[in-house]
Amino acid sequence: MSIDTLINSPQAFVSYNAKLYFNKENDTSLKQKMFEDERIMKLISELKNWPGKVLSSHKSAQQSFHQLAFLADIGLSINDNEIYFIIEKILEHRDEHGIPQLPMNIGTSYGGYGKDTWAWALCDAPTVLYGLIKMGYKNNTIDKAVSILVNQVRENGWGCSVAKELGTWHGPGKKNDPCPYATLIMIKLLLLYKDEYKKEIAVGCNSLNSLWENSLNDHPYIFYMGTDFRKLKLPFIWYDILHVADVLSQATNTKMNTSLEDMIKIIRDKTDHGNICRPESEYRYWKDWDFGQKKMHSEWMEFCIRRIFSRVNN
């Protein structure tokens, strides 16, 4: 496979992004063709019912905020078909700081109130804000919401922080531990601000690097970096090697470090044989996409991996 193959892909969302990233060409005709893709239109249709069901698991691949982030990642924006309607739905529920809220229900035995509550946690709010900003919705209220989340940072990254509406609940870990997933998606969010949060990005990257270097012993909030972590998997939803490498490869103000080098080597070893990028694990919700099953080469996975390698080489 080659970059030209990606650019000429029959999948408009792959071709559009390959042209945009590698050739710096914004092909509006391809952008329009993306709306002929039934899979994309299905995501848009589901997101029009934002936020969907009461949140049960942040890892669930069909959570609305994961769908939002994917559509943002493939290039949909506030100016595109029905996207602004979705954004308006998201903005209907925000706290006093402008942080988007989702319906959750935390049982009393876990420190919650046992009823449906509009709230946010640091394992969802950064992704919602990422989707909004990536799609072109950004103003002082959004900036304020981001700054509130930024201020949750500690010397070892971001912990398990939640809105006051969720009571004393926090994830299954020590209160002073960093949450690997929250740290990952906070870095991802702050990278949209370029150098404005350079210091906090560096803190987050150092946390992820330390977790990799000590992965045999450190498993905060039950996040491991073992066999399952190292499986190639898309889209960028949870804490896995492609997601972490994608984020670290964008942190251009941090040095190329041994942890990222290790991850790049693992990814290369899995894909260098004939340039075949075949998912090693899948989310069943995404089974209609080429990255949603393990039987064939995934063009979107190849694009994401080539983009990581390109950033590192540059």
Q: Rounded to whole angstroms, what are the CA distances from 91 to 5, 77, 208, 290?
A: 39, 16, 31, 32
Residue type, 189: L
pLDDT at 111 over 70: no
How many folded domains does the chain comprise?
1
Domain interval for residue 292 = 226-314
Q: Give the C-alpha separation, 295 to 134, whole Å.
A: 31
- 241 within some domain: yes
The reported pLDDT for the residue numbered 252 is 63
Q: What is the pLDDT of residues 161-200, one digit of tens each?
A: 888 888 777 777 788 889 999 999 999 999 999 889 999 9
Q: What is the pLDDT of residues 219-250, one digit of tens each?
A: 988 888 999 999 999 999 999 999 999 999 99
**Model pTM score:** 0.94
Q: What is the DSSP letter of 191?
A: G
pLDDT at 37 over 80: yes
Helix axes 258-271, 198-213, angle to 10 degrees: 70
Q: Give the C-alpha separation, 293 to 234, whole Å.
A: 10
- 216 within some domain: no
- At 273, is the pLDDT very low, low, confident or very high (cuts 50, 70, 90)? low
- 275 within some domain: yes
- 187 within some domain: no
- 281 within some domain: yes
- 135 within some domain: no
- 291 within some domain: yes
- 284 within some domain: yes
